[in-house]
Amino acid sequence: MTALTIALSKGRILDEALPLLASAGIVPTEDPETSRKLFLPTSRPRVSIVLVRASDVPTYVQWGAADLGVAGKDVLLEHGGQGLYQPVDLGIARCRMSVATRRGYDWEGTVQRGARIRVATKYVSIAREHFAAKGMHVDLIKLYGSMELAPLSGLADAIVDLVSTGNTLKANDLVEVETIMPITSRLIANPAALKLKRDAVKPLVDALAAASASNRAGP
């Protein structure tokens, strides 16, 4: 039987992908959250899970070190998506990419005046494209985390970050001023694996599409 490797990241993607994999008959033989192993065998012989950083998942799949993976649309847009197929929107890790400022900051006025603004973000490509499409002049400041601190410390006027419940913004006295796009996580596949390991990959892609169908159903 063909060997298959699936790249996942610990945390919300793993939490939400494991039930989908279970319905496709794939269950890790050790608890991934407590195991120190990064390469986990599963109940399905020759199917393994590799645990990598969320932003590294596309790289593992692009280079064929993993055949399949699960990555957020944010991560895929920042990566560029070269050398990847995205066969299924799994509808998990649902959130949105937004622009936020300090409460009381006159975002509308600043935009209307055409003033140059500073925006801090981990998502530089998404932010660049969004503001360019609006014809806005922004200086982008790349951060790797704790974006909320940027407007509070005076580093930037606004941030581009992921929002789900809005609790993180609220806790830091920030408000969402624009929604850029909805975000979900997608199943990604190495194109060569899709062809050369089709007998193993195709049934799994179909099973994951079926298991996640209710996540994509409209309101």
Interface contacts to ligand ATP, rule CB under 6 A: 9, 11-13, 53-55, 72, 74-75, 93-95, 162, 164, 183, 185
The site partner of 54 among ligand ATP, ligand PRP, none (C-beta below 5 to 8 Å per kind) is ligand ATP
Of the pair 186, 197, the CB lying nearest ligand ATP is at 186
Of the pair 98, 200, the CB lying nearest ligand ATP is at 98
Beta carbon of residue 195, minimum distance to ligand ATP (angstroms, whole number): 28
The residue within the footprint of ligand PRP, chosen from 34, 112, 165, 214 (CB under 6 A), is 165
Nearest position to ligand ATP, beta carbon = 72
Within 10 A of 214 (CB to CB), how many other CB atoms are there?
8
The answer to whether 64 touches 193, Cβ cutoff 8 Å, is: yes
Q: Please, what is the end-to-end C-alpha distance for the chain in angstroms? A: 41
Beta carbon of residue 185, minimum distance to ligand ATP (angstroms, whole number): 6
The site partner of 96 among ligand PRP, ligand ATP, none (C-beta below 5 to 8 Å per kind) is none
Interface with ligand PRP in residues 117-146 (CB under 6 A): 145
Tokens 């790249």 belong to 7
Query: Torsions phi, psi of 190, nearest 5?
Result: -80, 125
List of residues 6+ apart from 26 with CB closer than 8 A? 6, 42, 43, 44, 47, 204
The answer to whether 42 touches 204, Cβ cutoff 8 Å, is: no
Helix, strand, or coil here: 23?
helix
Q: At 33, list the tokens.
A: 């959250």
Query: Torsions phi, psi of 160, nearest 5?
Result: -115, 120
Of the pair 21, 95, the CB lying nearest ligand ATP is at 95
Q: At 9, list the tokens.
A: 């990241």
Of the pair 53, 113, the CB lying nearest ligand PRP is at 53
Beta carbon of residue 164, minimum distance to ligand PRP (angstroms, whole number): 3
Of the pair 165, 214, the CB lying nearest ligand PRP is at 165
* Binding site residues, ligand PRP, CB under 6 A: 145, 161-168
